[in-house]
Amino acid sequence: MSSLCLLGVLFLCAPTIFFLVSFAQNYPSTLLTLPLQFHQAFNPLYGEGNIVPYDGNNSVQISMDATTSSGFHSKVMYVHGYFQTSLKLPENYTAGVVVTFYACNNHKYPFYRDEIDFEFLGHIHGQKWLLQTNFYGNGSTNRGREERYELWFDPSKDFHRYGILWTENRITYYVDNVPIRNVKRVDGMGGDFPSKEMSLYGTIWNGSNWATGGGH
């Protein structure tokens, strides 16, 4: 992992919460936005001293240092919807530094959790930026359905939008409103498809034991 003293990621307008009015084919014509300031919608998860609100509580920076990581979670849980955040990732050498935006319910269902993830796996100069998407249902982590993508831009240079559309039968991952992955629920998945209410999370943490070639 990088030896930098402090690495931070800025969530612009902290994750924006959308509610689906109807399940139409095209995003975003059927969505209503619920504008919330950070302190109204989210609580610290850990590393509270490394969570710094900006822009009148409309944005937040989370960071990690030599002793702690940081993260936040939504105060309420949601069943289905479109969830989006704008992120600017840490610059320079960040091997082993994992930044996530995801929905999960492990605090309520520790043995049967559901989860839908965006995971940014750190960066080594000269290599592509990798984005990993995951989803689990009812604790099916041993049948994880991860897929990795190479980003076509440098996510540390500017803000980019990352969105998750979650319905009863579909999960679609968006980058700057472009769908990069679409998952359709099929009978063979059984209970592996996320179906229970989940909270939203944003985190930065040390993943040196597995991310970016083991953080080297």
Active-site residue numbers? 115, 119
* d(C-alpha 114, C-alpha 75), whole Å: 17
Residue 106 to residues 78, 113, 114, Cα–Cα distance (Å): 14, 5, 7
Q: Which helix (H) or strand (E) holds 92?
A: none
Report the residue count for the chain.
Answer: 216
Closest CA to 96 of 70, 122, 67, 62: 122
Specify whether the CB–CB gap between 104 and 14 falls below 8 A: no
